[in-house]
Amino acid sequence: MIDSRKVKFTKMHGCGNNFIIFDCLNNKNNNKKINLIIKNINKLCNINIGIGADGIVFILNSNIADAAMKIFNKDGSEAKMCGNAIRCVAKYMFDNLINKNIFNIETLSGIKKVWIEKDCNKSISKVKVDMGKVIMDYKLMPVNINFIELKKNNKDNFIVSENLYINNYKYLITCVSLGNYHCVIFKNDLNFDLSQAKLIEHHKAFPDGINVEFVKIIDNNNIEIRVWERGVGETFSCGTGSCASVVAAVLNGYCKTNTDILVKNIGGDLTINYQDKNNIFMTGTATKIFDGIFYLDSM
């Protein structure tokens, strides 16, 4: 007899950004279970009283792709897209659900095409993702431009090295959207208390909140970043944040398009290739940590 209290999960990480993944295909988890999990995200993601994670991911049926990905931050807010999570979902699907190297995953920011890359032992080496088109027009983002000091000659509706003042301190910000929204700030030194990013995340200029990346330029092909994710705090890495950082580096003249840029996150490296106002591609690892079971009546 199947114990309806049991819920299976898999914990995975992409460059240290870790997720609790629930396989909900074929009605393995009904809506009642899913809703209960969503209501208890804080507890599940807490390392002391739960499983511990940066967020949770549901793999669901899709009518327009091979599967759909639904992701929630650990504060309970839903994210439209997550680059590290989609690589984990792709690896999980390839290992357990699908028998092809190229397939599509539906997200709230559109359908994403993924490629499974294998090493000489035919094991999964990396996952490549077409992250879609980059949005730079602030009119297409939830940005309150009244709180940002724009240059007088700004004609493109781009926020590139514009002034944002917080507590009399000036930040030069560049804003980019990949379905979720990013504020990129260039720094010569990344050794500082990142909690100041919380002030940016919740600033009135960003009514829905925003992810914040601090970026150090190493050279034309290498950058280093630290990430503050909306609804999460500092994380070891961020896929969309790495993409946004490369786009911002191109917009500010530090890097070039159609070139592989190595983005050094705390948790590992990602390779980003920005195709100049077209699609942007991300390549990186995805790693299974463990499988587990928890009981719904413990929540």
DSSP 53-120: -SEEEEEE--SSSSEEEEEEETTSPEES--HHHHHHHHHHHHHHT---SEEEEEETTEEEEEEEEE-T
Average pLDDT over the chain, rounded to an integer: 93
Q: Which two tokens stand for residue 87?
A: 């690589």
Decide if 12 contacts 23 (C-beta within 8 A). Answer: no
Using the predicted structure, report yes or no on whether residue 219 has a pLDDT greater than 60.
yes
Find, among 194, 177, 187, 291, the residue nearest to 236 by Cα: 194
Look at residue 153 in the predicted model and tell me its pLDDT: 73
Consecutive H or E run containing 121 = none
Consecutive H or E run containing 227 = strand 222-229
* pLDDT confidence bin for 234, thresholds 50/70/90: very high
Sign of CA dihedral 171, 176, 182, 185: negative
| Mean pLDDT for the stretch of residues 6-31 | 90
Using the predicted structure, report yes or no on whether residue 122 has a pLDDT greater than 70.
no
Look at residue 132 in the predicted model and tell me its pLDDT: 92
Using the predicted structure, report yes or no on whether residue 70 has a pLDDT greater than 60.
yes
pLDDT digits (tens, 9 = 90+) for 78-113: 999 999 999 999 999 999 999 999 999 999 999 999
Look at residue 187 in the predicted model and tell me its pLDDT: 97
Using the predicted structure, report yes or no on whether residue 121 has a pLDDT greater than 80.
no
Look at residue 292 in the predicted model and tell me its pLDDT: 96
| Mean pLDDT for the stretch of residues 120-130 | 83
Which residues, listed in sequence order, are joined to residue 214 by a DSSP beta bridge? Answer: 185, 226
| Mean pLDDT for the stretch of residues 213-219 | 98
List, in sequence order, every beta strand (DSSP E) within 134-195: 162-166, 169-177, 181-186
Distance CA 89, CA 105 (A): 9
pLDDT digits (tens, 9 = 90+) for 149-202: 988 777 789 999 999 999 989 999 999 999 899 999 999 999 999 999 999 999
Look at residue 118 in the predicted model and tell me its pLDDT: 82
3-state secondary structure of 209: coil
Q: Which of 14-23, 150-159, 161-170, 219-228 has the lowest mean pLDDT?
A: 150-159
| Mean pLDDT for the stretch of residues 213-228 | 98
| Overall size of the chain counted in residues | 299
Which amino acid, 7? V
Q: Tell me the CATH number for domain 138-276.
A: 3.10.310.10
Q: Which two tokens stand for residue 119?
A: 């090493």
**Ranges of CATH 3.10.310.10 domains, the chain:** 6-130+285-298, 138-276
Decide if 151 contacts 105 (C-beta within 8 A). Answer: no
Which amino acid, 295? Y
Using the predicted structure, report yes or no on whether residue 1 has a pLDDT greater than 70.
no
pLDDT digits (tens, 9 = 90+) for 250-291: 999 999 999 999 999 999 999 999 997 778 999 999 999 999
Find, among 170, 234, 181, the residue nearest to 206 by Cα: 181
How many CB atoms are located within 10 Å of the residue 35 CB? 10
Distance CA 189, CA 71 (A): 32
CA separation, residue 235 to residues 29, 33, 118, 240 (Å): 28, 28, 27, 12
Q: Considering the domain 6-130+285-298, what is its CATH architecture? A: Roll (3.10)
Using the predicted structure, report yes or no on whether residue 2 has a pLDDT greater than 50.
no
Distance CA 254, CA 223 (A): 10
Using the predicted structure, report yes or no on whether residue 40 has a pLDDT greater than 50.
yes
Using the predicted structure, report yes or no on whether residue 298 has a pLDDT greater than 80.
no
3-state secondary structure of 294: strand
Which residues are catalytically annotated? Answer: 82, 238
pLDDT digits (tens, 9 = 90+) for 51-66: 999 999 999 999 999 9
For a pLDDT cut of 70, what percent of the chain falls above it?
Answer: 96
